[in-house]
Amino acid sequence: MMIERAGVVGSGLMGSGIAEVLARAGLSVVVRDISTEAVEAGRTRITKSLDRGAERGKITAEDRDAALSRLTFTTELADLADCQLVIEAASENEEIKKVIFAELDAIVKDEEAILASNTSSMPIVRFAQSTNRPERVLGIHFFNPAPVQPLVELVVSALTDPAVVDTIEAFAKEVLGKVTIRAQDRPGFVVNALLIPFLFSAIRMVESGQASKEDVDLGMVNGCAHPMGPIALADRVGLDTCLFVGQSIYEETGDPASKPPVLLSRMVDAGLLGVKSGRGFYDYAKK
C-alpha cells in the first residue's frame, strides 16, 4: 500500500509536529482542528518549525516551501475523506477520541485506509471498537518533538491486522525515516511503562528531601550517562502529561511505582507544567 495522502486530527504540539513530519516526507497532508483559532495556531507552529529548520541548515529553503505547499488546514473532519492514513492527535480524553474514530470511520471512503492514534497511554482497542474496521486501527505513537525524535511506537491491539502493522512499519521506516518498535496494547506501551516509574521515583526523592532536584539530575547525567536528568526530563515532557500517563497506568495496573507523587499533582494544580508553561521544577522564563 503506497500512502500518499494523510490526515492529522489535532494541530497542537504533537499534531503539528506529526503533520510536519508527513509533509516533509512528501505526503499531501490535511490538518484538522476544532476552531479557526486552533487551526491558525497549528499553521503558525509548523511554519515556525520549518523556518527554524531552514535557518539551521537542517532543510533547504526549497524543502521548507515544498513542505508548506503540501499542507492543507481545515475545521471540517469531512475534508479527510480521501486520506489513506489518518492519525488522531487530539486531547487525551478517551470519550473525545472514541467519537473522532467513529466519525472518521464514517467519513474516510477508502476501505483500506488506516486509522491511528498518537495516544501515549490509552487502550487502542477501545478506539478500534468505535469503528467498523477495527482490524485497520493501531497506535502510532510519536515522541515530542516529532520532527526531531527518531522513535515511533507501533501499538498493536488484539484486533489489529498484522498486515496493517507491517505496512505502517515499512512506511515509518522507509518514508518517514523513523526508528520503530512494536508494543502490545498495554498500559504505557514500552517507553512510558519504563519511563514513568523512573521519573516518579526521582520526584519522590526530591519530595522527601532525600536529594535536591539538581543533585538528582547531576547524578543521573554524570553517573549513568543519561543525556538529561529525570527532573529536567519530566519538565520537558510536561508535568501534566506525566501525571496523566501515570494515572492511566496506575488505574489499570495498580502498580504503586506508577502512582503519581502528591508533589507532582500539586504542581499541575498550580499550573507549573514545565517547559511549556515557563516553569516547573525549574524556571524557564529567564532562559
- Output the DSSP codes for 164-209: HHHHHHHIIIIIS--EEEEEESSTTTTHHHHHHHHHHHHHHHHHTT
Residue 22 CB coordination number (10 Å): 27
Cell numbers 507523587 label which residue?
261
Q: Which residues are catalytic?
A: 120, 141, 153, 192
Q: Are 134 and 112 in contact (CB under 8 A)?
A: no
Q: Are 206 and 212 in contact (CB under 8 A)?
A: yes
Q: Are 239 and 274 in contact (CB under 8 A)?
A: yes
Q: Are 122 and 187 in contact (CB under 8 A)?
A: no
Torsion of CA 151, 156, 162, 167, to 10 degrees: -30
Residue 189: HSE in the Cβ half-sphere, 13 Å Cα cutoff: 28
Q: Are 281 and 235 in contact (CB under 8 A)?
A: yes
Residue 80 CB coordination number (10 Å): 25
